[in-house]
A and B are shown apart, each in its own frame.
Chain A
């Protein structure tokens, strides 16, 4: 499993995301407005067409003025016909301000020539002016909206949906859970993944499909039955119709998700809960000489079968002990003496429902001369995800961590890692490759070699460092930078004698920063690592909360589905709106690929070039033969790639809202993830509302 760990911190993300959002939404809005005006001009003639566009833009400003208290009505002259010269003057002045701003910025930030700067400034100023007007109109529209009407319309949407047998979906969900026992294999190696995967998938499919149907069909049905006529002839604003519906469906979806989430949680908890019996007949002494009949000796044996698995039992001399790890969990065993018989009480499964909080570091590599490098050795693996550390040399992988404080980690540092191993010779295949972990203080350079371990492939290795560390050896690794900026580490001896104990937090961290160095000890063998392969594990978060976060992911998807469904249904008929919504969401899944395509990161070039390769059966890596055909293909591709890139920015990153992997694998969903995705979903919902509002406003309800 690869978890997304290149997640930017929230404060970094928030610095550029709103700007990007504004650029995308602003761009789409301007294009939409131009397109709308063009349609209006074609259909109604140039004068009437532009008048309609103007009216659409300005009517909310006009409405706002109508709502002013009488004492402020004199402001009406601003929007009255009589004030036309003043308004034109205001627009011209605003345009000049935008023009000046655009000119100064373009002049300072770009190396363009003067005529180009002038042309670009005019274009930018026009776009700014349109965005400004749209923004003003939207603000006015928001101020004119009434919560009471919004509430009434949202209530209607909920009531309408309930009438459309929402309950059937709910009953379907319950039935699915009731019969889940038939097809959920209890003997699965990772039962939590299975259960979480099942409930999250079932819920998301049911809820998303239901919301798709409801949101895309609701407005068109109202238009077809003409029930909307009765509503829009009341003082209801188009924005309220769109937003009321969105809010109603979101409220309904939220309610469904909360109830389904609660039921799912109980289902998961109860489904995974089980206990075993210790089979007394299977208990044998661990040491061959001991006699189990005498008691007070360590025993091992097996447990009874439950949930399709059994555990190895390991009991201490007192009779207490545990059922060892199987299927991601263990049980504690307490021995109770009843007369001359010992009864073993087995506790509930532990370690199964967890939410690990990994603290990821930044990975860099050190080569065999202790020079810093971006990447490790390339062993020719076809998958370049991991980089390799050469064994038996000074080469190392270095993870720098931050936030390592006693508060977050209590009195020990737990480190978990998954290593890939590349063997240049087979050796003893049953034995792991030895490696060593070093802890280094990035400020003082104090480095402590702590433990030698044996690699275990394809499983997570856990290492615990107690607060008081006993070093195998200690020295200082001094960072040196040469004239070219190359970084080298030099080993110095300790200034004093080596201490018998080093304090993890006092000696080895500097303001919460610590480095973990990983070296491979076996010459000619390699350790393969990637940044997320090694992490520190802070104190666990609550599983129930993490489960709720998984549902929050579905909630955000639901918000997107509803927003798209309602937006499309403002100008498309029901079935078409549904297809458009599904189409957009499916395209959204390919968004990242489209961005890669637009940035030219994919093999085989752009659309035209790949098509030529397809026809000529050329491979994707070699360059096309130079010539006019290739030049034309590249030029067309350059334009198409820009278009694809722009389109990708507008599509919702639908797949990114899924987080069952986090929950199912027992990882805490980071707060940054929640904040960023939540804001992204909100950004989309707002943008879609605006688009839907303009469509609703420009359409004739009675057509």
Chain B
């Protein structure tokens, strides 16, 4: 159903130019992605691979050099789409002279929200991100973790359908990271669509349904996390109640077919392994889509 596509990028290209219009960096090269309703979509890649550029193009903070991004079927430069979007920037770019309450109230006023609804959402969100004890303090006094939390709260002030998270776990301690991940999963359970970008593989592995791996502005891999991580040339069989004979026969069958039994099972690799493989492959053969694995 076309309605289920929340974000649609077609041939999206971004070239950074200097003052005189000379090309400096080709940050994104002909990106094609679709994000569907209700999924957690991860953009993965090393620093400078075009993750943040993609998010900024989706938000209309940058204009594409060519190609198009549609968000809820509207052009990315259309501000009315923002009614349904929440955005947590890389670092929480918030006004340090406001308190947590004032911050949420200010961002709430930018939406069509009544004063009563604003108050209600503000106190709910402050409690949800665990800042009740510090809601009257100016943000300049906040620690990095607290700033991150209030950043997330402002992204959720309008109860958005689509949430864009730019490096959501940077600057958080292990406990904070766990809370953040739980919050993301909770949002997914509530039917929200989430696009997050990160270079932290474990984050992506834990929460994302689908990922796109970018390297130097090119899409290298796109698919469901579970299918991407499946090692297809290794088979893993877990069985119980097999007789000695049956086990022998299976081993013989494998040997007859030229296989070698390592252990019987069907393991998964780690995302880290996959990621490093892709990077190595890309360096060896620049410009080639690595495995051509389409989502199953």
Contact = CB atoms under 8 A, between A and B. Distances in A.
Given A43-B21, A151-B109, A159-B97, A235 B89 contact: no
A59 B97 contact: no
A583 to B, nearest CB: 20
The residue in A42, A62, A155, A232 that gathers the most chain B C-beta atoms within 10 A of its C-beta is A232
Contacts of B87: 229-230, 233
Contacts of B93: 225-230
Given A48-B66, A52-B63, A703-B62, A236 B95 contact: no
Nearest to B93: A226
Interface string A215-245: 0000000000111111111111110000000
A59 B78 contact: yes
Given A62-B78, A700-B63, A702-B62, A230 B109 contact: no
B1 interface: no
Contacts of B97: 159-160, 163
B17 A43 contact: yes
A42 B21 contact: yes
B62 A700 contact: yes
B83 A233 contact: no
Residue in A42, A43, A231, A702 with the greatest tally of chain B CB atoms within 10 Å: A702
Which one of B79, B106, B158 has the greatest number of beta carbons of chain A within 10 Å?
B79
A245 to B, nearest CB: 14
Interface in A584-618: none
Contact of B109 (A152, A226, A232): A152
A282 interface: no
A635 to B, nearest CB: 34
Contacts of A59: 75, 77-78
**From DSSP, what is the main secondary structure of chain B's interface residues?**
loop
Contacts of B107: 230, 234
A498 to B, nearest CB: 79
B154 A230 contact: yes
A63 B79 contact: yes
Interface string B71-90: 00001011110110101010
A63 B94 CA distance: 27
Interface in A200-225: 225
Contacts of A44: 65
Contacts of B21: 42-43
A42 B97 CA distance: 41
Nearest to A66: B80
Nearest to A152: B109
A701 B61 contact: yes
Contacts of B17: 43
Contacts of B110: 149, 152, 231, 234-236
A55 interface: yes
A340 B51 CA distance: 101
Nearest to B164: A233
B59 interface: yes
A156 interface: yes
A236 B79 contact: yes
A152 B56 CA distance: 24
Interface string A377-421: 000000000000000000000000000000000000000000000
Contacts of A52: 63
A116 to B, nearest CB: 37
Contacts of B158: 234
Nearest to B110: A234
Contact of A233 (B59, B92, B98, B109): B59
A493 B4 CA distance: 102
Interface in A31-84: 42-44, 48, 52, 55, 59, 62-63, 66-67
A146 B111 CA distance: 10
Interface string B8-41: 0000000001000100000000000000000000
B98 A229 contact: no
B78 A63 contact: yes
Given A227-B93, A700-B61, A159 B98 contact: yes
B111 to A, nearest CB: 6
A665 to B, nearest CB: 45
Interface string B127-163: 0000000000000000000000000001000100000
Interface string B87-124: 10101111101100000001101111000000000000
A700 B80 CA distance: 17
A472 B79 CA distance: 81
Interface of A: 42-44, 48, 52, 55, 59, 62-63, 66-67, 146, 148-149, 151-152, 155-156, 159-160, 163, 225-238, 700-703
8 contacts: A43-B17, A63-B78, A159-B98, A225-B93, A233-B82, A234-B107, A700-B63, A702-B61
A-B pairs with lowest CB-CB distance, top 8? A152-B109, A702-B61, A234-B110, A226-B93, A163-B97, A235-B82, A233-B87, A227-B93
Given A59-B75, A230-B154, A233-B85, 8 more contacts: A42-B21, A55-B77, A59-B78, A63-B79, A230-B94, A233-B60, A234-B158, A700-B63
